[in-house]
Amino acid sequence: MTWHPHDIETEQALLGAVLMQNAVFGVVSEIVNTDHFYEPIHKVIWQTCVDLITLGKLATPQTIKPFIPEDIDLGGVKLREYIARLAAASVSITQAPHFAKIVRELYDKRIIGETALEMAPRPEGSAAELAAFVVERMDEVIAANVSHGWRAVTMAQSVIGAIDAAASAYQNEGKMVGLSYGLSEIDQKTLGAQRGNLIVLAGRPGMGKTALAVCIARNLGIAGHKVLFYSAEMVDVELTQRMITDQMYDEGRMFYSLLRSGRFREKEFERIRDAGEYLATLPIRIEQQPQLTLAQLGTRARQMKSRGGLDALFVDHIGLMKASGRYAGNKVNETGEITGGLKALAKELDIPIFALAQIVRGVDAREDKRPALSDLRNSGDIEQDADTVILLYRESYYLARKEPPAGSAEFLIWEKEMEDCAYRLDAEIAKQRSGPTASVKLLCDIGCNAIRNWRGDFV
């Protein structure tokens, strides 16, 4: 049994409105597109209107006829007569959005029905796979409808918003306008993590991407902000152990490796427990399902936002998210789909999204190993979609791999160089849509998974 909800008369009225007054197209084109029409001839007519109006030409009952095949099946009605029917059924420009929403709503219902039918012949799939399939399809419907909330505004409306923002910034004396990273140097250079922004933290493995993300997430939680942290690489226990050593750091170093292995004294266990009990009070939720799709992540984020609130989302990392399958293994396009979707989700939920990204392996073979924007893996879309890109570099990571023989003259030089950079993390703000680029020096005790403001008394 098939289920195809549709309303031919509503589609006719909407098409007639566009043909009689092309200004209607600008009002409804953000609500419906060619795929949303049920009747095949209506798809053809709508697309013809799109093509003509996009070229700056009129789409009228007369001008569209040459572009529609004469032999198209209209149930015995001549093309001229059918187009005349559309013109007679047209509604006003004020009524058209209502008709467009009905067309779109019926299309969404057809998608839901088709999803149910597609599940029926899939006995070989697991329950989890079937559920994931349904979640992804349904989330596409939800996301598409949420996007209708974005509307053009007049310059007068926009000016009011801009002046209000300027007044708030003035009253704030040029200080934070976004959420604090908890790292003063980055806050000063960025004015905080702005809502609606996609912030990319990028670097080679071992540069401290996850450490920085954990540090920022913990700082946000301490400030009372609600955080969702998606980790495709680590389970919740591993991630929380890193957060515990970060939390313990200011009162005494605890190496992450010792915490994991259990090689610590009983007195230190008390500190571990105290840090864990404090972290348990923070409004941070960890999502750890591997190969999560963007649609599934969006569903979880929307649920958290609607039920208890959500202020920031972390994704570790972009390369391990599962693309929709639309681009069938084309990594560049898949990455673009994910980063574009994350940016749209940030705007929709009005939160900053922090996404971790890998730098290409070729950097390791260069003399100068500091990364640049062009080194982002599948960089075009990441660089384009991100509002802020912070590139991470730890010179000590590479220098440690060049250790000369102990006691040699070279070793003494190397040892001094290591002392100078052992705890330094260079964070290059290589892109900032609303501000200048800048370099920030941070303290990074990678063995303790701790990142702090730079100071000289940490050894």
**pLDDT over threshold 80, residue 243:** yes
How far is the first Cα of the chain from the last one, in angstroms, to the nearest whole number?
73
**4-30 burial: b if 16+ Cβ within 10 Å, else e:** eeebeebbbbbbbbbbbbbebbebbbe
Q: Which amino acid is at 71?
A: D
Segment among 18-32, 137-151, 170-184, 385-399 with least mean pLDDT = 137-151
Please name the CATH architecture into which domain 181-453 falls: 3-Layer(aba) Sandwich (3.40)
Segment among 21-25, 63-67, 268-272, 313-317 with least mean pLDDT = 268-272
For the domain 8-121, what is the CATH code? 1.10.860.10
**pLDDT over threshold 50, residue 39:** yes
For residue 389, the model assigns a pLDDT of 92
d(CA 201, CA 225): 20
At 1, the pLDDT band (50, 70, 90 cuts) reads very low
Residue 45, judged by CB atoms within 10 A of its CB (0-12, 13-18, 19+), counts as buried
What are the structural domain ranges in the chain?
Answer: 8-121, 181-453
Q: What is the pTM of this model?
A: 0.66
19's tokens? 């043909």
Could you tell me how far CA 319 lies from the centroid of its own chain? 13
pLDDT in tens, 50-86: 888 878 888 899 898 888 887 776 777 888 888 888 9
**pLDDT over threshold 90, residue 331:** no
Closest CA to 286 of 242, 323, 330: 242
At 459, the pLDDT band (50, 70, 90 cuts) reads very low
5's tokens? 């909800």
Residue 391 near residue 440, CB atoms below 8 Å: no
Residues 6+ positions from 99 with CB-CB distance below 8 Å = 10, 13, 14, 17, 28, 91
For residue 265, the model assigns a pLDDT of 80
At 149, the pLDDT band (50, 70, 90 cuts) reads very low
Residue with tokens 């001839």: 41
* 3-class secondary structure, 382: helix
| Helical (H) or strand (E) element with 393 | strand 388-393
426: number of Cβ within 10 Å: 19
d(CA 337, CA 353): 15
For residue 228, the model assigns a pLDDT of 92
pLDDT in tens, 258-311: 877 778 787 888 888 888 888 888 898 888 777 777 777 887 888 888 888 899
Residue 119, judged by CB atoms within 10 A of its CB (0-12, 13-18, 19+), counts as middle
Mean pLDDT of 357-379: 81
| Helical (H) or strand (E) element with 241 | helix 236-248
pLDDT higher at 392 or 237 = 392
Residue with tokens 């996301």: 143
231: number of Cβ within 10 Å: 24
Q: Which amino acid is at 310?
A: L
d(CA 82, CA 41): 10
**pLDDT over threshold 80, residue 159:** no
